[in-house]
């Protein structure tokens, strides 16, 4: 069975609105064991819409479309679909009364009560545009409103059970994700190439992002046990190859959350000293509840004055090596250990740009230091390409990665 998700609206094509409806529907269908074959976005211009709808109905068995069901001039989905299926629009008195009562009586609400004849109506519990389903020649077209929360509500309250009843879902799609930090795609891919050869039926995908790389294992199976039997050996192999760098476990795929859990579990505390990130590492961590269980805080020592007066970075170090140097980063960590009771201290100092770079230290030069009380401080320099926003974001992610490999596997990054 081929499934396609269709998003309708010029605002999606123009880049004004992100197509989150398609993501939502794909994710929910996956949970039900259904794999979506294609996402398509169409303009709400009549001929483009007609062409597109024809096309999707030719190649797919189930099409779920969102958007353009409202009563405004640019909401053309309903009329185009009615024409395409050669159906008249039928006025539903009961639906109109309900809309008049719930909202107000006007021509727009009246318009919403016209539905293609023979369609199965899906009630909109929070908005005005009803959804509906048309079945013809073994094809199913579902029309849902564009507003995400109306669409989502409709999915859960009626569409999900309709799909469950309609399709005998024997084989389900099962997915496992592994999240890896500090490793590049090129380092992971060769291992995945081997794993793919071991079981062709398990689909292995690799998805890089700023906060690390996610590897997905998906397989179609009758039940979870059979799926696990296929996925687990491959997943274990990957975990063996990259053990210290893997921060996902039991559904947690988020580095800040993994860090919080391990710090709290080990009963250790952390303090940060941030220069170029301006508190961004701290704010990334404090978004999560119970961060106070391990994070003492962050000293945003943006200027040399604060580095000297609060963290006691010696003037001579700043003069000799500069504010952006592994040496300064190291003294920032020492400063934290003197000031606080933290078990771990992490510092970052860099040139986020656009100004401030030099030939020796171009924009994107960022230094990190990480120490565990009483042990040697691991410090070093990285070069981050990109603009100011990217450099800061990357620095946050990199700092958290350093923290993860250190606290989880006592691994240092810059020094042996």
Q: Which is nearer to Mg ion, 128 or 218 (CB)?
A: 128
Residue pair 145/151 in contact by the 8 Å Cβ criterion: yes
Q: Which of ligand ATP, Mg ion, none does residue 401 bind to, with CB < 5 to 8 Å depending on kind?
A: none
Render the burial of 31-60: b for 16+ CB within 10 Å, e for the rest: eebbbbeeebbbbbeeebbbebbeebbeeb
Which one of 52-60, 66-74, 211-219, 330-338 is the stretch in contact with Mg ion (CB under 5 A)?
66-74
Q: How far is the CB of 215 from ligand ATP (least distance, A)?
A: 27
Q: Which of ligand ATP, Mg ion, none does residue 364 bind to, with CB < 5 to 8 Å depending on kind?
A: none
Q: How far is the CB of 38 from Mg ion (least distance, A)?
A: 24
Which one of 61-69, 82-90, 305-313, 343-351 is the stretch in contact with ligand ATP (CB under 6 A)?
61-69
Which one of 67-75, 214-222, 241-249, 302-310 is the stretch in contact with Mg ion (CB under 5 A)?
67-75
Q: How far is the CB of 82 from ligand ATP (least distance, A)?
A: 15
Which one of 73-81, 95-103, 314-322, 380-388 is the stretch in contact with Mg ion (CB under 5 A)?
73-81
Q: Which is nearer to ligand ATP, 40 or 313 (CB)?
A: 40
Q: What is the DSSP string of 203-224?
A: EEEEEEETTEEEEEEEEEESSH
Smallest Cα–Cα separation from 72: which of 14, 152, 145? 145
Site string for ligand ATP, 108-137 (x = CB under 6 A): -------------------xxx--------
**Which of 40, 56, 69, 81 touches ligand ATP by CB under 6 A?**
69
Q: How far is the CB of 72 from Mg ion (least distance, A)?
A: 5
Residues 6+ apart with CB under 8 A from 187: none
**Which of 2, 10, 13, 17 touches ligand ATP by CB under 6 A?**
17
Residue nearest to ligand ATP (CB): 70
For the four alpha carbons of 229, 233, 235 and 240, in that order, the dihedral sign comes to: positive
By CB under 5 A, residue 70 contacts Mg ion: yes
Strands (E), 322-400: 344-350, 365-372, 378-383
Which one of 142-150, 177-185, 222-230, 399-407 is the stretch in contact with ligand ATP (CB under 6 A)?
142-150
* SS3 per-residue string spanning 60-114: CCEEEEECCCCCCCCCCHHHHHHHHCCCCEEECHHHHHHHHHHCCCCHHHHHHCE
By CB under 6 A, residue 19 contacts ligand ATP: yes
Q: Which is nearer to ligand ATP, 147 or 179 (CB)?
A: 147
Q: How far is the CB of 53 from Mg ion (least distance, A)?
A: 17
Smallest Cα–Cα separation from 273: which of 366, 343, 211, 335? 335
By CB under 6 A, residue 26 contacts ligand ATP: no
Q: How many residues bind ligand ATP (CB under 6 A)?
A: 22
| 38-57 positions binding ligand ATP, by CB under 6 A | none
Question: What does the radius of gyration of the chain's CA atoms come to, in whole angstroms?
Answer: 28
CA 376 to CA 369: how far, in whole Å? Answer: 10
**Which of 148, 244, 314, 380 touches ligand ATP by CB under 6 A?**
148
Residue pair 159/167 in contact by the 8 Å Cβ criterion: no
Residue pair 231/225 in contact by the 8 Å Cβ criterion: no
Q: How far is the CB of 15 from ligand ATP (least distance, A)?
A: 12
Contacts 24+ apart (CB under 8 A), 284-293: 284/256, 284/396, 284/400, 285/256, 285/259, 285/260, 285/400, 287/256, 288/256, 288/257, 288/260, 290/260, 290/264, 291/260, 293/260, 293/263, 293/264
Strands (E), 225-267: none
Q: Which is nearer to ligand ATP, 70 or 335 (CB)?
A: 70
**Which of 4, 6, 65, 75 touches Mg ion by CB under 5 A?**
75
Smallest Cα–Cα separation from 81: which of 107, 36, 110, 118? 118
For binding to Mg ion (CB under 5 A), which residues are involved?
A: 70, 75
For binding to ligand ATP (CB under 6 A), which residues are involved?
A: 7, 9, 11-12, 17, 19-21, 66-70, 72, 75, 127-129, 145-148
């Amino acid at each position: 069975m081929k499934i396609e998700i269709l998003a309708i609206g010029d605002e999606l094509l123009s880049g004004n609105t992100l197509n989150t409806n398609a993501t939502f529907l794909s994710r929910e269908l996956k949970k039900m064991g259904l794999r979506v074959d294609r996402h398509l976005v169409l303009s709400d211009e009549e001929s483009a819409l007609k062409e597109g709808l024809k096309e999707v109905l030719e190649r797919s068995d189930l099409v779920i479309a969102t958007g353009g069901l409202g009563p405004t001039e640019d909401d053309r989905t309903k009329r185009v679909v009615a024409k395409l299926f050669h159906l008249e629009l039928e006025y539903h008195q009961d639906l109109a009364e309900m809309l008049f009562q719930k909202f107000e009586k006007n021509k727009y609400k009246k318009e919403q009560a016209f539905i293609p004849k023979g369609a199965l109506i899906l009630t909109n519990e929070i908005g005005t545009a009803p959804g509906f389903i048309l079945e013809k020649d073994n094809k199913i077209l579902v029309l849902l409103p564009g507003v995400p929360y109306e669409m989502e509500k409709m999915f859960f309250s009626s569409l999900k059970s309709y799909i469950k009843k309609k399709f005998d879902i024997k084989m389900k799609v099962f997915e496992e994700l592994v999240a890896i930090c500090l490793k590049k795609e090129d380092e992971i891919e060769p291992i995945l190439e081997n794993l793919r050869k071991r079981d062709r039926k398990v689909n292995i995908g690799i998805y890089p992002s700023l906060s690390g790389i996610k590897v997905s294992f998906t397989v179609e199976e009758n039940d979870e046990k059979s799926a696990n039997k296929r996925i687990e050996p491959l997943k274990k192999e990957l975990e063996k190859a990259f053990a210290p760098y893997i921060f996902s476990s039991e559904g947690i795929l988020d580095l800040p959350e993994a860090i919080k859990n391990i710090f709290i579990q080990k009963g250790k505390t952390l303090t940060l000293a941030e220069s170029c990130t301006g508190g961004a590492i701290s704010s990334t961590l404090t978004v999560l509840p119970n961060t106070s269980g391990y994070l003492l805080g962050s000293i945003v020592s943006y200027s040399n004055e604060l580095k000297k007066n609060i963290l006691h970075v010696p003037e001579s170090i700043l003069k000799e090596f500069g504010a952006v140097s592994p040496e300064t980063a190291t003294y920032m960590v020492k400063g934290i250990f003197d000031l606080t009771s933290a078990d771990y201290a992490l510092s970052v100092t860099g040139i986020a740009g656009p100004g401030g770079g030099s030939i020796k230290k171009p924009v994107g030069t960022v230094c990190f230091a990480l120490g565990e009380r009483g042990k040697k401080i691991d410090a070093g320099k990285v070069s981050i390409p990109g603009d100011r926003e990217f450099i800061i974001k990357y620095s946050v992610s990199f700092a958290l990665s350093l923290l993860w490999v250190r606290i989880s596997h006592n691994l240092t990054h810059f020094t042996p």
